[in-house]
Every structure is written in C-alpha cells, then in structure tokens.
Amino acid sequence: PDSGFVAPMRASSLLVSLCSPAAAFRAFPRSDALARTRVFTTFERFAPAMAVMTTSAAPPQHGGESALEVAERIERVLAAKTRSGKSYDQLAGELGVTNTYAAQLLLGQAQLRPETRLKLEAAISGLDAADLFAMTACPMRSFDPAVLQEPLVYRFYEAITHYSRAIKLIVNEQCGDGIMSAIDFYLDVGTSTGVNGEKRVVVTMNGKFLPHIEQRAANNMCPSPRD
C-alpha cells in the first residue's frame, strides 16, 4: 500500500476501511477529508478482488450502518435505478432474478450475492462502491407497520386476510398439514388484460411446502435437561 496513506493511519483502521468504508469514515474526523478520500481510493482498488473472495468467505454481518445510513443508501440506489431508465422487469432480466427480488435488493431486504453484484454494477451505472459492499451484508429484514396505511399495500393485506381460511383449507387438502415457506420462495408481479380490455394485476407466490413433523422422542437429538 501507499506509505503516504498507511503512515498516518492505524493498521486497524486500514483493515476497517477495506471491510466497511462507512465504519472507516467514523474513525476520522470530518475535517480530515484527505484520509476519508484515501479510504475510498483504497476500497476501490481492492473491491474487485474482495468481491471474488466473498464467494467463499462468510458474508459481512449487518450492524455497521445506522438506520439513517441504510435509508440514505436505499435512496441513493433507487435514484441510480431511476437514472438508468430501466424497469424492474428489465433489471430482473439482467440480474437473472424475479422482478420483486430485484426490487428487494435495491430496498435492502435481500442480500446481494457476489455474482449478482457484478451484474448489478453492469446494469446500473453510478452505484457507489461502498453502497454495493454494504448490500452484500446479511440484511436486517423488516417492515414499517405504517406501510399498511398505503392503499395499494393494504389491499394485499386485506385480500390475504379475507381469503386466509380458504387458502389454508385448499393448501391442506392439496399438500397436507404444513406451511408455505417464505424463504424458499419466489414472488413475481405481472399484468394481464381482462375480458373487457382492462389491465389486471397478477401476483404469483411460489413457495416450498414445509410439512409439520410428528415430534418423535427417538428423533430428538437434543432433549432438554431434567433437574
């Protein structure tokens, strides 16, 4: 590394800069603009190699970003997507994922895998290297309850709750006693044209069926202790 960079910088800070530019920024005062610039210079230099290394290494863990930093990152990423002029269907086609998964990646609700990261960089120009790296961390998946106040979102909530007993009866009849996974799961949003020429929304959920097991004592390899 450039001795002009390393000399004023602790070795631990250099390691942090390679793992999390955002964390490295916090190691320097805002007035030290030169050191902060060098953090990104070094990160940009090693980022391609790090992307390859992460295919076999454990993914970074969430926690390096505050809620505000995550929100700001999402805003930047969505703005870059808007500037690209591409639809979510187009983006999904370039990434090789469903359109909703493409949106989840940009919203920080899904982990950006190394091979998909390279495709995303090619699909959307101008994405910040630090933002891309942060997207490779295991995300803190969540939702704001206030989102249910949005009319479109509430209609889906209303439809699922209204039809929930009917859905359960049919799933149980066709698959048995169990649930649909939301992890081994595909969600795709599309449209169709109705008989009167109206546009209709088509949402397909495709989840693995997970049967409930009978909890046989002989198969319980870790029974609780009894005092």
Residues identified as active-site: 155, 158, 181
Q: What values do phi and psi take at 7, rounded to 5?
A: -50, -50
Calculate the CA 93 to chain-centre distance: 17
Q: What values do phi and psi take at 190, rounded to 5?
A: -145, -170
Identify any residues that bridge with 203 across adjacent strands, giving them in sequence order.
189
Q: Is 185 in a helix, a strand, or coil? A: strand
> CA nearest 113: which of 142, 78, 138, 90?
138
For the beta carbon of residue 122, count every other beta carbon within 10 angstroms: 10
> CA nearest 63: which of 7, 146, 137, 9?
137
Instruction: State the Cα–Cα distance between residues 30 and 37, nearest whole angstrom.
Output: 11
Identify any residues that bridge with 60 across adjacent strands, giving them in sequence order.
none
